[in-house]
Structures are given as C-alpha cells and as structure tokens.
Amino acid sequence: MKTLETKRLLLRAFKPSDLEDFHAYAKIPGVGEKAGWLHHKSLAETQTVLDAFMKQNEVYALELKENNRVIGSLGIHQRSDDTVSKEIGYVLSKTYWGQGFMTEAVKRVVAHCFEDLEQEKLYCGHFVENKASKRIIEKVGFTFLTTRKYYSKNMDQHFDECYYVLSKADYNSTKNV
Ligand SMILES: CC(C)(COP(=O)(O)OP(=O)(O)OC[C@H]1O[C@@H](n2cnc3c(N)ncnc32)[C@H](O)[C@@H]1OP(=O)(O)O)[C@@H](O)C(=O)NCCC(=O)NCCS
C-alpha cells in the first residue's frame, strides 16, 4: 500500500513495531466498541489483529508526524460484490479525539481511492448514536443511503447502522469547493 501524507499524519502500512501503540488505544473501553469490536484484553490479542492487518494490507496505520506514534487506523475494505467500490472504516486513539485528525485522514484516503485506485464509489457507515463519525462522513461529502441492521460477530451484537455512499462524480464536483 502506498504511503499517504497529510499536514499532520502519515498513512502507512502497519509494521511489527506498532504493537505497543496499537494496544495503547485498542485496550481502552468504548473506543473499538463504537466501531463494532471489543476493546483488547491483552497484548496477545492486539498482536493477532496486527498480524491480520499486516497480512491483509488494507488497513492504514495513522502515524502522527510530530512524534512518530501510531494513533489510529483507517481501512479501505474490499466489498464482496465488485471491484470498483470500497468501504472505509476508522478508529482513533481517544487521547486525540476532537482535533480534526480523522477528518484529515478520511479526506486523504477518499482522494486516493478516486484519484489513484480508480474507484467509482465509496461506502461508509456509523452506528446511529455515533455523532462524531456521522459528522466526519457528512463533512467529507457522503450521501445518506439507508439505516440497516449490522451484526458484529466480534461483539455478538446487532446495531442500527446509518449507511452512506460517495460517488466519484460527487467527489469531483465538490473537491474544489
Ligand atoms: C469517530 C472518531 C474517528 C472521530 O475522530 P476525530 O478525529 O475526533 O474526528 P474529527 O475531529 O475529525 O471530527 C469530529 C466531528 O464530530 C463532531 N463531534 C464530536 N462529538 C460529537 C457529538 N457528540 N455530537 C455531535 N458532533 C460531535 C466534532 O465537533 C467534529 O465536527 P466539527 O469539525 O464540525 O466540529 C473517533 O471519535 C473514534 O475513533 N471513535 C471510536 C471509533 C469510531 O467511532 N469509529 C468510527 C466507526 S463508524
């Protein structure tokens, strides 16, 4: 995966030395749960997920340029039904919430998907009560599609999820506004 840069972040592949940083935010209750996974109970659990990220090669580590720490992740996930659309998902360390980091990262990834990866559509969802994620999705220019049921196998729980799409045409018409 190609490393991407924003003003404050490097978006790059996860590497083995990210284990401690990843665990530091993944172990905090109420962070992963907002994205459909339970907070990690051990370093070994984080290691398993980190190994999967490194193997799958579809999840970016968000590295803060200022201190070279990994403060979150952003995935560009394959959708089962086609090759010209992707679904994005993201998590940020609670320490860094409310400073515009994820909006900055999502905007960069959206540009990458449409301009480099030749995608036609991007999808993104948030659980109904997740107002911060809703706000990011709106700020980036996604259009609301539907509210649907989402089952998290990891949490063995059903959620109501608001689901959105952003087309390349809509991206092109708004990117310079
Ligand atoms: C959702 C998450 C990624 C947001 O990251 P962030 O870097 O804090 O987000 P940003 O600062 O870029 O933007 C958040 C926006 O939501 C707004 N917001 C935050 N909390 C809010 C709330 N309770 N109600 C309404 N708006 C809220 C912020 O004011 C900001 O909007 P603004 O720029 O117009 O002021 C982060 O909270 C997180 O990782 N949460 C846990 C995992 C998660 O929810 N992942 C997404 C799954 S869909």
- Extents of the domains making up the chain: 4-174
Determine the Cα–Cα distance for residues 90 and 127; give it in Å rounded to an integer: 13
The residue whose CB lies within 8 Å of the most ligand 1 atoms, and thus the one to mutate among 103, 127, 162, is 103
Atom of ligand 1 nearest to the CA of 97: 8
Classified as helix, coil or strand, 90 is strand
Ligand 1 centre and the CA of 103: distance in Å?
A: 8
Task: Compute, in angstroms, the gap from residue 97 CA to the centroid of ligand 1.
Answer: 7
pLDDT digits (tens, 9 = 90+) for 91-138: 999 999 999 999 999 999 999 999 999 999 999 999 999 999 999 999
Q: Which residues pair with 148 in a beta bridge?
A: 161
Residue 41: its pLDDT value, please?
Answer: 98
Its pTM surpasses 0.95: yes
Q: Is the pLDDT of residue 29 over 70?
A: yes
For residue 101, the CA-to-ligand 1 centroid distance in Å is: 9
Q: In whole angstroms, how large is the CA radius of gyration of the chain? A: 16
Pocket of ligand 1 (CB under 6 A): 31, 34-35, 90-92, 97-103, 126, 130-133, 135-136
User: 52 CA distance to ligand 1 centroid (A)?
Assistant: 26
Nearest CA to ligand 1 atom 31: 135
Q: Which residue's structure tokens are 């109904």?
A: 128
Mean pLDDT of 153-173: 96
Measured between alpha carbons, how far is 58 from 48 in angstroms, rounded to an integer? 16
CATH for 4-174, options being 1.10.3720.10, 1.20.120.50, 3.40.710.10, 3.40.630.30: 3.40.630.30
d(CA 131, CA 5): 26
- d(CA 135, ligand 1 centre) in Å: 6
